[in-house]
Amino acid sequence: MTRVLLVDDDVDLTSMLSQYLVREGFDVSTVHDGEAGVSEAASNDYALVVMDIMMPRLSGIDALRRIRANSAVPILMLTARGDDIDRIVGLDLGADDYVPKPCTPGELVARIRAILRRTKTGERFDGSGNARALQAGYLMLWPGNRRATWRGEPLELTGTEFSLLEVLVRHSGQLVSKQEISLQAFDRPLARFDRRIDVHISSIRQKLGTRPDGQSWIQSVRGLGYQLLED
């Protein structure tokens, strides 16, 4: 069974979500503060962590920062705020997605499954027995095991960053709309005022550095989308 960790100080909500996830076939553990969430995420092998932002002892943002220092486990953030700052900061630190509260259990399960689909491991091979790779200039991606290299060196990416970069690599040299990126990377249409893609692209740009001319390897066309340059 797929193991999921729920971290939220709302005991009633956690209980309700846990029961629903169990019925959907997940193996669920729950804790109720950020400190316990960090400890539990580090000590056990979870496929995904669902974590609230507003919690006692340690906020979800600080807990996310600590988990990301040692683990690439997919993390889905829950937020009751309408404040975009928390959402953007959380994603910039390496969260894979967020769900505004209140949310239905069905929506949460759909988001969890979407994240697990795009972070699922398992080598894929071509006819010669070699793992299939995607290449765009200095960038190499192996979708089968979610591995990436840049100029021959390992490139550390979160699960969501890998999914976004995979879309751009598959359309290398072409302008890809943010709507299309959202559909291919997140399995859903882009919501109005949703800045997730912009935040993740900013993080990827920092990891790739700049071209010899000082420009980014990922070009943006305001209001339209992004384009990955090969050289």
Q: What are the start and end residues of each CATH 3.40.50.2300 domain in the chain?
A: 2-119
CA angle, residues 17, 161, 187, in degrees to nearest 5: 55
Q: Are 8 and 28 in contact (CB under 8 A)?
A: no
Predicted model pTM: 0.64
Q: What are the start and end residues of each CATH 1.10.10.10 domain in the chain?
A: 134-228
CA distances from 200 to 7, 55, 159 (A): 24, 25, 11
CATH of domain 2-119: 3.40.50.2300
**Where is 228: in which H helix or E strand?**
strand 225-228
Measured from the Cβ of residue 191, the count of other Cβ atoms closer than 10 Å reads 10
CA distances from 61 to 55, 88, 133, 192, 220 (A): 10, 11, 34, 24, 28
CATH of domain 134-228: 1.10.10.10
**Signed CA dihedral, 104, 105, 108, 109: sign only:** negative
The tens place of each residue's pLDDT in the chain, 231 residues long, gives 799 999 999 999 999 999 999 999 999 999 999 999 999 999 888 999 999 998 888 999 999 989 988 888 889 998 876 656 666 666 777 788 888 888 889 989 988 988 887 766 433 333 333 446 888 989 999 887 788 999 989 999 888 888 899 999 989 989 999 999 998 888 788 887 778 888 899 999 999 999 999 999 999 988 789 999 987
